[in-house]
Amino acid sequence: MLLAPPFRVDLQSGVLSGEHLIHSVRRLGALGGCFEEESVRAAMDQDRVVYRVSALMPVKDGTPGGLFFGTSFVEPGRVGAEYFMTKGHFHQQRDSAEYYWGIQGEGVLILMDEQRRCWGETVSPGSLHYIPGRVAHRLANTGEVTLVVGACWPADAGHDYASIAEQGFSARLKCVSGKPALIPQECDEPSP
Query: What is the contact surface with Zn ion in residues (CB under 5 A)?
Result: 98
Residue (of 34, 26, 15) closest to 50 by Cα position: 26
Q: How far is the CB of 86 from Zn ion (least distance, A)?
A: 9
Euclidean distance between CA atoms 31 and 43, whole angstroms: 13
Q: Does 154 bind ligand S6P (CB under 6 A)?
A: no
Options 78, 89, 129, 172; binder of ligand S6P; rule CB under 6 A: 89
Contacts of 189 (CB under 8 A, 6+ apart): none
Complex with ligand S6P: residue 88 or 105, whichever CB lies closer: 88
Q: How far is the CB of 40 from ligand S6P (least distance, A)?
A: 20
Q: How far is the CB of 180 from ligand S6P (least distance, A)?
A: 18
Q: Does 146 bind ligand S6P (CB under 6 A)?
A: no
Contacts of 140 (CB under 8 A, 6+ apart): 74, 83, 84, 85, 86, 107, 108, 110, 147, 173, 180
Q: Does 168 bind ligand S6P (CB under 6 A)?
A: no
Q: How far is the CB of 160 from Zn ion (least distance, A)?
A: 10
Residue (of 88, 69, 81) closest to 26 by Cα position: 88
Residue (of 140, 150, 155, 158) closest to 99 by Cα position: 150
* Near ligand S6P in 28-57, by CB under 6 A: 53
Binding site for ligand S6P (CB under 6 A): 53, 70, 72, 86-89, 98, 137-139, 151, 153, 157, 159
